[in-house]
Every structure is written in C-alpha cells, then in structure tokens.
Amino acid sequence: ESVFSPFSIFAINAGSLLAILLTPILRGRVKCFGSEYCFPLAFGVPGVLMLLAFILFLAGWKYYKIVPPAKGNVVFSVICCICYAAREKLRNVMRGQHKVEHWLDYAAPKYSNQFLPGVKSLVAVSVLFGPVILFWALFDQQGSTWVLQARRMNGRIGSLMILPDQMNTLNPLIVLITVPIFEAWIYPIVQRICKVTPLRKMAAGGCLAALAFVMAGLLQLEVNKTMEPHPEHGKVILQLIGNSSYTYEINGTELTYGKTDFPEGLYTVTSSSIENAQSQHLDIRPALISSPEYVLKIGPGNCSVTDCPYNYTIYAEAGGAHVIYIADNAIDIYTVVRPNTVNILWQLPQFFVITVGEVLFSVTGLEFSYSQAPPNMKSVLQAIWLMTVFLGNVIDMLISGSHIVAEPATEFFVYAFMT
C-alpha cells in the first residue's frame, strides 16, 4: 500500500500533464466547423485516449485476481448502522439506561460483531477528512481562480507564449519530480532528525497550501496595480478619442467634458462634426512561438502601406487594447487598456508550494486512511475520500462562485486563513 499510493499518484499526474498541456492547444489553435475554437477536438482526443485505455485494461483481464463483491450495499449498510446506533444512543440517554463502551455498540445485536469493528475503524479514520475538505477547497482552485489571475498576467517568455490554463501543467510536472525525491531522500533524511508520521506530513501539507494562497494574494495585489480602474457600481467610463474641437451628443444633448450624471437607460453617442467615419476591430491572438506581423488596411481608399508617409508600429502585448485614430493627415495611437506587465512565471512559486503540499497531504492522507480501514470498508473509504473533493468544491462555489468577497486578493487571504 505504501508503494501503490505514490505510484498511482505518479501515473495520474503523468496523464494530467499531457492533457493540460495539449488541450488548450487543440482548443484554441485549431479551427473546425467554422468556429474560432475547436472544442470537439479538445474533447474528442481525450475521449479516444480514454477508450484506448479501457481497451488496454480489458486486454489484461486474464491476469487480474477478481474478488466477487460482498452481498448487499456496503455503503448503505454503514449509513444505516451509524443512524441506528445514534438513534439507540439517544433513546438510552433519555431513559437513563446503561452506557456502552462505544456509541456504535448500540447498533448490536442488529449488526454483527464482525461488521461493527469495521464501522468503528471507518468512523475513526473519517475524523481526518475534515481538514481534507478544506485542502481540496484550496487545491482545486488551480484550475479556476488561479487561471483567472494568470489571464491578467503576461505570458510572453522570449519567443514563447504561455497560455493561462497551461500554467496548470506545473502541478503534475512538479508531482512527477517531487514524489520520487520525497520517497527516496527527503523522508529518510527527515526521519533521522525527527519521527515522520502521517499526521505530521498532513499538517505540513496543509500549512504549505495556506502559504501558497498567501503568496497568491500578495501576487494579486501586484497584478491589481497594473489593471485599469473599474467604475463604481451604477457608473460607466466613456472615453472620447480624437480632436477636442469635435462636439458629441448623447440622445441629442451636447456632451461636456468631465463628470456628467444620467439616469439609467439606453443612450446613443453621436457627433455632427465627424463625417465618413469608419471603424475596424482587430483581435490579435499571440502565437505559441514567435510573434506574427499583421497589416491592417482601413477603408476603401488608395492609401497602402508603401505609399503612405506614416509608419506606426504597435507591439501587441497580452491583455492590451489600442485604438489607431486616423483623421485628416494625422494618425494617433491611444492605449485604451494597458497590457499585462506582471510576468506569468511569478505564479511558479505558489504552484510549487501547493504541489509539495499535495505530495505531503493528499498522498499521505490517502495512504494512511486506506491502511487504517478494514478490508471490507476500503471501498467505502474511497467513496468518502471522493466525497471530500466534492465538498471542497462546494466551499469554492459558496465563496468564489457567489462573490461574497469582491476583491480577489482578499479572497485568497480568506482561503489561507480557513486552512
């Protein structure tokens, strides 16, 4: 069991590394069915690989030792036993009758002496799963809030462009590196200094997960400094670009520069001093390697790139939005949204810390709880372990999904404090 758990985690993360690395490329860099993004390919390739894995699983059928399942539903029997024992304990307490050594003993004789010890061990191990829920609440945000943070960062590394969701490849990659190192060197070395117990490893892993979110919060504070200010609730920012001599009207009322209040509604901005105006929108998606060059021709005129006396170059950085304003004989470039300046590699430390926390917490917790459960309760314990992942995501949904905390940096600190 001590060998199987690290090996299974190693295998899972090896597949996860390939999936996280290739899926964004298949989705965003390939066009299919007339759509800008090819989601069928992104889902289809993993589906085909899953089918191949299932075929390989069936190919080794004759080498498996197949143990027939026990009669009845073990999970249902455990739940009924716990509920029955709790009800009987409440009745005996109200009647003032004798006490038993363990509250689950109230379930006897309805449940056999062979079944009850397994339930007692399962309940004792399940106490550990409270902190596990909080750990998954933090850990699974690598694919949600941390990706949103990466979208506000600059993924350009020299000639290479790192997509925000590709940062998740760091987790399985670090797991593949650290699991053998911890098993072969770190644990034996620490064992010489102090006794390495599963509970101590899990405690250290939980602390590292909290530290990773403190690091994420501090990084978010730096990212916030580069972001454009958001208008207050009920207000919008209207940016007028061009010659200040032009006049603009909103629903027929002349617009004055500065702060103006309007009631809620639908408005149309027009200008009687601008004629024959055209606008074009260009969305530049950076390539994975190198940066392509784009030539934008505006309007049906005869002006081309070679015979125009003006030559302007814009370095299209990630997250930036620019307006090229051409009027009469003048060309002006306005930056509407500043590009992302904080490099995406600043997320590397928090990914490393939380992944080491996963190696200490998740691998150890699964191995410890599985070894402590009796043979007839191991499948039930696996179900409880998966339930902790679900409950952790429920916490994410209640906090992040409901936007109780409006500021992302504050939200990261709240998660760190919870753990």
What is the DSSP track for 60-101? TGGGS-PPPPPSS-HHHHHHHHHHHHHHHHHHHHHHT----S
Residue by residue, DSSP assigns 366-398 as: HHHHHHHS-GGGHHHHHHHHHHHHHHHHHHHII
Lowest-pLDDT range of 57-71, 129-143, 238-252 = 238-252
How many other CB atoms are found less than 10 A from the CB of residue 16? 17
139 vs 162, 168, 408, CA distance in Å?
21, 11, 16
Q: Can you list the pairs that 4-12 forms with residues at least 24 positions away whose Cβ atoms lie under 8 Å? A: 5/363, 5/366, 5/367, 5/370, 6/179, 6/183, 6/363, 6/367, 9/175, 9/179, 9/359, 9/362, 9/363, 10/175, 10/176, 10/179, 10/180
Q: What is the CA radius of gyration of the chain?
A: 30
Average pLDDT of the residues in 324-328 = 71
pLDDT at residue 3 tops 60: no
Q: How high is the pLDDT of residue 95?
A: 80
In whole angstroms, what is the distance from residue 343 CA to residue 320 CA? 14
pLDDT at position 275 is: 61
Report, as an integer, the average pLDDT of 236-249. 69
pLDDT at 301: 47
Is-contact 383 366, C-beta < 8 A?
Answer: no
Mean pLDDT of 119-138: 87
Same domain, 133 and 157: yes
320 pLDDT more than 80: no
Largest CA distance in the chain: 102
pLDDT digits 0-9 by tens, 34-63? 777 788 888 888 888 889 989 988 998 888
In this predicted structure, what is the pLDDT of residue 303? 46
Report pLDDT for 263: 72
Domain count, the chain: 4
Percent of the chain whose pLDDT exceeds 70: 80
Average pLDDT over residues 216-239: 82
Residues 75 and 136 in one domain: no
- 205, 364 contact by CB (below 8 A): yes
Per-residue confidence at 299, pLDDT binned at 50, 70, 90? very low
Within a domain: 135: yes
Quote the pLDDT of residue 204: 93
The whole-number pLDDT of residue 383 equals 82
Write down the pLDDT at residue 283.
61
| pLDDT of the residue at 315 | 64
pLDDT at residue 280, rounded to an integer? 60
C-alpha 216, offset from chain centre: 12
Average per-residue pLDDT for the chain: 80
Domain co-membership, 137 together with 220: yes
Question: What is the domain range of residue 243?
Answer: 229-274
252 and 220 both lie in a single domain = no
pLDDT level of residue 277 (50, 70, 90 thresholds): low
Q: Please check whether residues 218 and 134 belong to one and the same domain.
A: yes
- Tens digit of pLDDT for each residue in 368-385? 777 777 777 777 888 888
Between 305 and 180, the higher pLDDT residue: 180
Based on the domain organization, do 386 and 257 belong to the same domain? Answer: no
What is the pLDDT, as a whole number, of residue 286?
A: 58
* Prediction pTM value: 0.75
- Evaluate whether residue 201 is within a structural domain: yes
Q: What are the backbone angles phi and psi of residue 22, rounded to the nearest 5°? A: -90, -35
Location of structure tokens 């190696």: 359
User: Average pLDDT for residues 387-413, to the nearest whole number?
Assistant: 90
The region of weakest confidence among 310-314, 350-354, 415-419 is 310-314
- pLDDT given for residue 294 in this prediction: 53
**pLDDT (mean) for 126-139:** 88
pLDDT for the residue numbered 302 = 45
Please determine, for residue 191, whether its predicted confidence score (pLDDT) is greater than 60: yes
Q: Flag whether 32 is in a domain.
A: yes
Answer whether residue 233 shows pLDDT above 60. yes
* Residues 52 and 201 reside in one and the same domain: no
For position 379, which CATH number holds?
1.20.1250.20
- Residues 143 and 208 grouped into a single domain: yes
**Do 223 and 144 have their domain in common?**
yes
- Please report how many Cα atoms fall inside a 13 Å half-sphere around the Cα of residue 273, on the Cβ side: 10
What value does the mean pLDDT take over residues 163-187?
Answer: 86
Q: Please indicate, yes or no, whether residues 356 and 267 belong to a single structural domain of this protein.
A: no
**210: pLDDT confidence band, cut at 50, 70 and 90?**
very high
Residues 264 and 178 in one domain: no
Which of 140, 148, 321 minimizes the C-alpha distance to 220?
148
Write out the H or E segment, with its range, that includes residue 415. Answer: helix 408-418
